[in-house]
Amino acid sequence: MAKPIPSAFSNVPSLDPIDHVVDSGLDDMESLDLRKIKTIQGFDAGVFFSYHAYPFGPEFILHEPTFQVTDEIGPNAYLGYLEKLRAAYAGRTLIIAEVGLPSSHGPAQSAELGMPYGGLDEREQGEGTLRALRTITRAGMNGAFLFEVLDEWWRGARLVERLELPANRRHLWYNAVSPEQNFGLIAVRPGLEEKHHEIDGVGSDFPSLPNALQDASTLAPLDTHDATRTLRELTIDSDEGFLHLLLRVDSLDPDGKGAVDWEKTDYLVGIDTIDANRGDGCFDVDCKIKTERRVEFLLRIDTEYDVTLHVDEPYDLVGVSHGLRADWQRYHTEVNDNGEFNLMRIMTHDAFSYGGQELAPVRHQDVGRFRTGMESTTTNTNFWYSREHGTLEIRIPWTLLNVTDPSARMVVDDYVPGTKGPEAELQIRQTPEIAVVIAALGGTNEQEVKVVDTLPRAKKKGNSWIIPAAGAPTYTWATWDMNPRYRMKRKTSFGIVEQGLREIVPKSAYMGP
Q: Is the separation of the CB atoms in 295 and 270 below 8 Å?
A: yes
Q: What is the CA radius of gyration of the chain?
A: 26
DSSP state of 407: T
Q: Is residue 179 part of a domain?
A: no
Q: Is residue 203 part of a domain?
A: no
Q: Largest Cα–Cα distance in the chain?
A: 92
444 and 497 both lie in a single domain: no
Q: How many separate domains does the chain show?
A: 2
- Provide the pLDDT confidence category of residue 388 given band limits of 50, 70 and 90: very high
354 and 393 both lie in a single domain: yes
Q: Is the separation of the CB atoms in 487 and 189 below 8 Å?
A: yes
144 and 25 both lie in a single domain: yes
Amino acid at 59: E
Q: Is the separation of the CB atoms in 206 and 236 below 8 Å?
A: no
Q: Is the separation of the CB atoms in 325 and 419 below 8 Å?
A: yes
256 and 402 both lie in a single domain: yes
Percent with pLDDT over 90 in the chain: 81
| Bridge partners, residue 365, by sequence | 346
Picking from 213-227, 240-254, 308-322, 463-477, which range would have the lowest pLDDT averaged per residue?
Answer: 213-227
Q: Is residue 411 part of a domain?
A: yes
Q: Residue 216: its pLDDT value, please?
A: 86
| Bridge partners, residue 439, by sequence | 268, 454
Q: Residue 170: its pLDDT value, please?
A: 98
Q: Is residue 182 part of a domain?
A: no
| Bridge partners, residue 236, by sequence | 245
Q: Is the peptide bond before 422 cis (omega within 30 degrees of 0)?
A: no
103 and 223 both lie in a single domain: no
Give dist(CA 180, CA 56) in Å, integer: 13
Q: Is residue 158 part of a domain?
A: no
Provide mean pLDDT across the span 211-215: 96
Q: Is residue 14 part of a domain?
A: yes
281 and 413 both lie in a single domain: yes
237 and 280 both lie in a single domain: yes
Q: Is residue 308 part of a domain?
A: yes
Q: Is the separation of the CB atoms in 485 and 197 below 8 Å?
A: no
Range of the domain at 73: 7-153+490-509
Amino acid at 213: L
Q: Residue 365: its pLDDT value, please?
A: 92
Picking from 11-20, 95-104, 106-115, which range would have the lowest pLDDT averaged per residue?
Answer: 106-115
Q: Is residue 176 part of a domain?
A: no
Torsions phi, psi for 135 (to 5 deg):
-60, -45
Residues in the chain: 513
Q: Which of 289, 505, 323 is nearest to 425 (CA)?
A: 323
Q: Which residues are CB-neighbours of 193 under 8 A, at least 6 positions away? A: 487
496 and 399 both lie in a single domain: no
Q: Report strand pairing: 352-354 vs 357-360.
A: antiparallel
13 and 49 both lie in a single domain: yes
Q: Is the separation of the CB atoms in 330 and 279 below 8 Å?
A: no
503 and 450 both lie in a single domain: no
Angle at alpha carbon of residue 255, lines to 223 and 253, rounded to 5°: 100
Provide mean pLDDT across the span 337-345: 98
Give dist(CA 30, CA 295) in Å, integer: 49
224 and 112 both lie in a single domain: no
Q: For residue 397, count CB atoms less than 10 angstroms from its CB and return exposed for 0-12, middle for 13-18, buried for 19 or more.
A: buried
Q: For residue 511, count CB atoms less than 10 angstroms from its CB and return exposed for 0-12, middle for 13-18, buried for 19 or more.
A: exposed
pLDDT (tens digit, 9 = 90+) per residue, 224-248?
Answer: 999 999 999 999 999 999 999 999 9
Q: Is the separation of the CB atoms in 101 and 115 below 8 Å?
A: yes
DSSP state of 104: -
242 and 388 both lie in a single domain: yes
Give dist(CA 169, CA 409) in Å, integer: 12
Q: Residue 26: its pLDDT value, please?
A: 67
Q: Does position 513 have pLDDT exceeding 60, yes or no?
A: no
Q: For residue 17, count CB atoms less than 10 angstroms from its CB and return exposed for 0-12, middle for 13-18, buried for 19 or more.
A: middle
Q: Does position 1 have pLDDT exceeding 60, yes or no?
A: no
